[in-house]
């Protein structure tokens, strides 16, 4: 099973470990301007947690309720420096997601609906929040966010923004939200946890 010493073709030589040394090695710039939108309280707690990481171009939002026809999102602090609060996040690389207690869902902060938590900045309309983005990741744990999910899906569909849905928890409580997202979301991660959302964002280089 060792590599043939007599290599007959370009393919064999090119695929060898020694040839990997000559691959062009340039830093890969973060490729995507992501918006992460939490549709409900428990999802917002996850989003808030994720937003603390040092992303380059991700911005985090929660969908206000009731969503209303003009559809406003609440910006969470943190996220990418390219639009986040200066100094938000940090410079150390994201640690292994296992450190984030995968599977655990942070409890919803009290008064989430009633008043903006202290770490948020003022509301923005949906289209303003999504302008300039090329991938939207929607986090949901229950059906409360059904209308928002549909509105985001339609908006992204029109603008050619790739949409991904991450359904946190066992998913049964989010059937309607999933159904609302299904026509638009290029991918739905079902029965996901916080670490899945983290891995997705990391893999997408946001």
Partner 1 sequence: MLRKDINELLTQTGPGSPMGELFRQYWIPALLAEELPENDCPPVRVKLLSERMVAFRDSEGRYGLIDEFCAHRGASLWFGRNEGSGLRCPYHGWKYDVSGQCVEVPSEADNSSFCQNVQLTSYPLVKIGDLLWTYMGDRATQPPLPEFEWIHVPAEQTYTSKRWQQCNWLQAFEGGIDSSHVTFLHSGGLKTDPLFKGAKGNEYNMNDTKPFFEVADSDGGLFVGARRNAEEGTYYWRITPWVMPAFTMVPPRGDHPVHGHFWVPIDDENCWTYSFDYHPVRALTDTERQAMIDGHGVHSKNIPGTYRPMANMDNDYLIDRAAQKRGETYSGVAGIAMQDASLQESMGPIVDRSKERLVPADSGIIKARQKLRKAAIALRDEGVTPPGVDPEHHRVRSAAVVLPRAESFLDSCRDAVRVTPGVPQSSV
List residues near partner 1 by CB under 8 A.
1, 4, 7-12, 14-17, 19-20, 23, 28, 31, 93, 96-98, 102, 135, 162-164, 171, 175, 178-179, 182-183, 185-192, 195-196, 199-200, 202-205
| Least distance to partner 1, CB of residue 104, Å | 13
Q: Based on CB atoms, which residue is closest to partner 1, 4 or 115?
A: 4
**Cβ nearer to partner 1, comparing 27 with 86:** 27
Is 80 or 112 the residue whose CB approaches partner 1 more closely?
Answer: 80
Tell which residue, 148, 142, 150, has the closest CA to residue 182: 150
Do residues 73 and 121 lie in contact, with contact meaning Cβ atoms separated by under 8 Å?
Answer: no
3-state class of 37 per DSSP? strand
Please count the CA atoms within 13 angstroms of the CA of 26 that sit on its side-chain side: 4
Closest contact distance (angstroms) between CB of 118 and partner 1 is 32
- The residue (of 20 and 131) whose beta carbon lies closer to partner 1 is 20
The neighbouring-strand residues paired with 120 are 76
Nearest distance from residue 45's CB to partner 1, in Å? 21
> What one-character-per-residue DSSP string does 121-140 give?
EEEEEHHHHHTT-SEEEEEE
Give the residues across from 60 on adjacent strands.
Answer: 36
């Amino acid at each position: 099973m060792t590599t043939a010493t007599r290599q007959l073709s370009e393919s064999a030589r090119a695929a060898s470990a020694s040839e990997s040394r000559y691959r062009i090695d340039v830093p890969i710039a973060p490729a995507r301007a992501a918006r992460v939108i939490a549709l409900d309280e428990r999802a917002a707690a996850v989003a808030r947690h994720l937003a603390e990481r040092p992303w380059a171009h991700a911005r985090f939002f929660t969908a206000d309720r009731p969503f209303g026809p003009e559809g406003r999102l609440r910006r969470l602090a943190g996220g990418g420096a390219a639009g986040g609060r200066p100094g938000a996040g940090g410079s150390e690389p994201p640690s292994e997601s296992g450190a984030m207690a995968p599977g655990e869902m942070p409890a919803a902060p009290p008064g989430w609906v009633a008043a903006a938590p202290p770490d948020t900045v003022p509301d923005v309309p949906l289209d303003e929040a999504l302008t300039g983005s090329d991938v939207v990741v929607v986090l949901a744990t229950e059906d409360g966010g059904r209308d928002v999910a549909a509105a985001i899906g339609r908006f992204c569909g029109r603008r050619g923004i790739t949409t991904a849905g991450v359904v946190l928890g066992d998913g049964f409580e989010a059937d309607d939200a999933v159904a609302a997202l299904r026509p638009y979301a290029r991918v739905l991660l079902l029965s996901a946890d916080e670490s899945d959302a983290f891995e997705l964002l990391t893999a997408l280089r946001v």
